[in-house]
Structure 1
Amino acid sequence: MDDDQTKPECKDKVIDRYRKLVDEGSYEVGVSPEIDPSVPPPWYDKDKFKQAQSTAAKFFPSLSFASFSGLLIGIQIPLFLEPLLLTGTHETIPKLFRRYLDTVLKVHTWYGDDPFEEGSKSYKSLRQVRRMHNNVTKMMNERTGRVQGKDKIWVSQCQMAMTQAGFFGLLVLVPGKCFAHGISDKELEDIIYLWRVLGYLNGIKDKYNLCSGNLEETRVYLKHIFTSFVIPQIIQTPNHPYPIGFEVAKGIANSLRPIRPAIRWQTILYYWYEILNIPFPYKLSIGHRLLLAFSKFSFTVLLRFRFMYNLFNRALRRRVQRAEQFKEKIESALAAKYPDSKYSAGCPYKLTLDWVSSKPITPSDVIPDINDNDTRLNVKLQSS
């Protein structure tokens, strides 16, 4: 995330794209009715997409880690979390496990199947996701009286594109921090192309799709999004602008420990806050410091060896399969371990979305739009 020597014309193009995304895309419905997911876009190349899927399979642990990390960061922002809370899928730790195990399984099909082949798992799951997004869009905007084209709306093109960044952004920005050692620029371009296609299939218009540019432009665009939109909304000065978001991030980390046993919210957030130059508000215990040190050693040394990386890849896939096979037992165990963890939806009327702007955001822009008397923080998470 250090400063680079980006060409001025590239920066200017990115700033213009970002302005249109936030200032115009916030008024357009997230799943564009202009996109028919059964019809490939003119720029689609089937062979190129298959190659992109092969690259995703090759670097699956890194892409998975980037997606998981992007989720823990993005979920701390009200624009992304409030619609999810309203669906009821984020009420408890067991529900978080079910929700994100389902997401992992869906994305697996996107990385492996032909999404334009009717009847394929990818084809079916993408339509399920589109229906879900359309239902949430209708529910939230009807309840708040928001009208497309007139008001900034929930689950907009802006929100969908920002969510797209969460799946692959950190891998493209800092591949080494996602232990994607040896990944070439061509392979990173494959990942970008993969998510250009998946963004289209999820209803994102080409003019808002984050992956419409080359590698350099996409990197600059992602960095601009993180520095201008994401980081100001999660930095604690001294309190988090959106406390429920930070608590749900902790809950997600705890819910997915059956898949990634070494996960601790303290270490994973500390790891990324350090990279993003965000002060971490908690002191790590000795155990967490040791775990963080071992994680960094694994990421920077052990996983440089392809043999170790492939071993980790197979182990991760087996854990996902096992989690799917025993999900009911895992949910029961999580319910027993975290009986007091509850997350409820707020009142969407109280969120104006005024802070969603292409102008630089500060925590003070977000805080006034959050209910000062939020009663949702009745959560008691274990510290480990």
Structure 2
Amino acid sequence: MDYPEWYSEKKYNQGRRFYWDNCFSLTSSMLLGLVAVFAVPSILRVLISSRRSSSQYTAYRRYLSTLLHTVSWFENDLKPGSISWRSIYTVRCRHARADVAAKMKGIGSVSQRDMALTQFGFIGFSILKPDKFSIRPMQSDDWESYVHFWRVIGSMIGLQDRYNICRKNYQETRQVCQLLLERVFTPSLDHVPEYFEHMARVMLEGMWSVNPTVNTSALLYWTRHLADVPGYVYTEKERADFQDKLREQLKGKSEDIGVDSTVFTSRPAIEGINERPPRLLYLRDYDTIETIPEYKNLPFAAKYKLAVSSILYAFYSTYIGKLYLNLNFLFSLLLMKYFPYLAFFRFGIKASLVNIFVEDPVDNTEPKPNAEYNKPPPELPWYRATLSVLSW
């Protein structure tokens, strides 16, 4: 493993600094990006076959390890023998082992394409929707440097330059991310593959053990919203605009006729998408936010946390807000590393402490089909509903 020939230490370190300037929002965007990556059928198959993230405990260990690996790249200089260097080498080796295991089981491989799509999870939403997270560069070339950082990481993990979605400049990278969103992630999240709900939910519920503000239903809705999945709107302007689009598709026909969601998405660029019954959208359902089926079915706690998140990101656009929430993230990161107290109660002290250089555990938990999660949720007792709101 070596530096790519185009590596610039100055730009790489400026990209690291840009992350710490916006660490709260950039980390949040990565979590939502990871949810989106689960919707890619070939990636999901490999994750399920690994048996390392199908339960809340194994998902907690795997994705906390992923977060700590990622943070270590920003914390440490990229020098041979450093923690950052060892971490990248460890991740590269794990990808190689997962590739061999997937091929032996006959379920595919860890392909260059899938590694590139996973790279989108780390950088895609922050590049395409920075205003949603109130991400602001301090210097004119911060975005260029941040892209360079992830271009280096992708290359050193084993991604060939031709597949690396982080290009030589920010504008080209943004264009690539927009294409991937339109041709892969929007259609994938519109019609998710089987077991997506299980794998995404156990990941989010596992991460609740280190971040009790995580609300599974809210984050699944927000991920689809960021991915421009038809019907997943949040503001009044988005609702009115989408209702106009539905009206255009109906062309004067009865409002009782549903519009197939796929008419608003591009033709998928990967296999395994849209192999399900159409999802019909009705004009009358978009008269108000509260009548939108996807939003109406959210628990009150999820609606509350979506509102609080919007307020927090608006607060983050201020100097005091950015300072406070970044410090809050740094304190949370300290707890994740050395004292994940909620995980202690759920999984035990020894089982909760994560060493990023030790392989994640496996178990034989069978993922549940999506239909199990599409049933109406049972009504929570009043005390649990209250606690779910107060966890902010």
Q: Counterparts of 2:137 and 2:312 in 1: how far apart (Å)?
A: 15
Correspondence 1:140 to 2:102: yes
Q: 1:324 to 1:206 in 2, by over 3 A?
A: same
Partner of 1:41: 4
Determine the C-alpha separation between the residues in 1 that align with 2:324 and 2:209.
18
Structure 1 residue 377: deviation in Å?
7.2
Structure label with greater radius of gyration:
2
Partner of 2:126: 171
Task: Classify the secondary structure of the residue corresponding to 2:44.
Answer: helix
Q: Is 1:62–2:84 an aligned residue pair?
A: no
Amino acid across the alignment from 1:277: D
Q: CA deviation at 1:285?
A: 2.8
CA distance in 2: counterparts of 1:140 and 1:342, whole angstroms: 16
Count of residue correspondences: 301
Tell me the CA shift for residue 226 of structure 1: 1.0
Tell which deviates more after alignment, 190-199 or 40-49: 40-49
**1:128 — aligned with what?**
90
Which of 299, 303, 315 matches 1:285?
A: 299
Q: Residues 375 and 243 of structure 1: is their aligned pair in 2 closer, same or farther, counting only changes over 3 Å?
A: closer
Contiguous gaps of at least 5 residues in structure 2: 233-293, 349-362, 381-387
Say which of 39, 64, 89 aligns to 1:101.
64
Q: Secondary structure at the match of 1:139?
A: helix
Q: Deviations over 1:246-279 (max 9, x none)?
A: 2211221111123332211221222232333323
1:2-41 matches, within 5 Å, as 37=1, 39-41=2-4
Between the aligned partners of 2:371 and 2:82, the Cα distance in structure 1 is: 41
2:208 matches 1:257: yes
CA shift, 1:334, in A, is 5.9
2:59 aligned partner, one-letter code: L
| CA pair 376-174 structure 1, distance change in 2 beyond 3 A | closer
Match of 1:326 among 339, 345, 365: 339
Partner deviation per Cα, 1:12-56 (whole Å, 9 max, x = no partner):
xxxxxxxxxxxxxxxxxxxxxxxxx2x222211112211111111
Q: Quote how far apart the aligned CAs of 1:125 are.
A: 1.0
| 2:141 partner SS | helix
Query: What amino acid is the match of 2:311?
Result: F
Residue 328 (structure 2) pairs with residue 315 (structure 1): yes
Structure 2 CA distance for aligned equivalents of residues 268 and 378 of structure 1: 19
1:299 corresponds to: 313
Deviation track 1:224-246 (CA, whole Å, cap 9, x = no partner) reads: 1011012212214xxxx413112
Q: Is the 8 Å Cα contact of residues 143 and 170 (structure 2) preserved in structure 1?
A: yes
> Does residue 1:119 correspond to 2:81, yes or no?
yes
Q: Is the 8 A contact 2:54 2:202 kept in 1?
A: no
SS at match of 2:75: coil
Q: Kindly indicate whether the alpha-carbon contact (under 8 Å) linking 2:15 and 2:143 is maintained by their aligned counterparts in 1.
A: no
> What TM-score results when the alignment is normalised by the length of structure 1?
0.71
Please say if residues 98 and 327 of structure 1, whose CA atoms lie closer than 8 Å, have aligned partners that are also in contact: no
CA RMSD of aligned residues (A): 2.7
Q: For 1:197 and 1:107, how far apart are their aligned partners in 2?
A: 13
- Aligned partner of 2:218 in structure 1 is 267
The answer as to whether partners of 1:93 and 1:251 remain within 8 angstroms in 2 is yes
Q: Please state how far the C-alpha of 1:206 moved relative to its aligned partner.
A: 1.1
Pairing 1:154-303 to 2, within 5 Å after superposition: 154-181=109-136, 186-236=141-191, 241-278=192-229, 279-280=231-232, 281=294, 283-300=297-314, 302-303=315-316
Q: Specify every segment of 5 or more residues in structure 1 that has no aligned partner in the other structure, as ranges.
A: 1-36, 147-152, 336-340, 346-373
Q: 1:137 to 1:107 in 2, by over 3 A?
A: same
Over 3 Å counting, the alpha-carbon distance change for 1:142 and 1:288 in structure 2 is closer
Cα offsets for 1:256-312 (capped at 9, x unmatched): 123332211221222232333323546123332222112111112x11112221221
CA distance in 1, matches of 2:216, 2:140: 31
Conserved? CA contact 2:189–2:224, under 8 Å: no
State the identity as a percent: 23
Partner of 1:22: none
State the Cα distance separating 1:378 from its structure 2 match. 6.9
Alpha carbons of 1:88 and 1:342: their partners in 2 closer, same or farther (altered >3 Å)?
closer
SS of 1:111's equivalent in the other structure is: helix
Distance in 2 separating the partners of 1:329 and 1:61:
20
Amino acid at match of 2:221: Y
Contact 2:40 2:188 in 1 (8 A): yes
Residues 39 and 185 in structure 2, CA contact (< 8 A), matched pair in contact too = no
Inter-CA distance 185–72: structure 2 relative to 1 (3 Å threshold): farther
User: Which one of 366, 373, 385 corresponds to residue 344 of structure 1?
Assistant: 366
**Which is bigger in relative contact order (C-alpha 8 A, separation at least 6)?**
1
CA-CA distance at 1:321 after TM superposition: 2.0
Partner Cα separation in structure 2 for residue 175 and residue 81 of structure 1: 27
Query: Match for residue 244 of structure 2?
Result: none
Kindly state the Cα deviation for residue 158 of structure 1 after the two structures are TM-superposed: 0.8
Amino acid at match of 2:316: L
Question: Do the aligned residues in 2 keep the contact of 1:259 with 1:316 (CA within 8 Å)?
Answer: no
1:225 and 1:261 map into 2 onto residues whose CA distance is 31
TM-superposed CA distance for 1:315, in Å, is 1.4
The residue aligned with 1:23 is none
CA distance in 2, matches of 1:223, 1:259: 31
Pick closer, same or farther for the CA change 1:184–1:228 going to 2, 3 Å. farther
Q: 1:368 corresponds to which residue?
A: none
Structure 1 residue 331: Cα displacement: 5.6
**SS of residue matched to 1:260:** coil
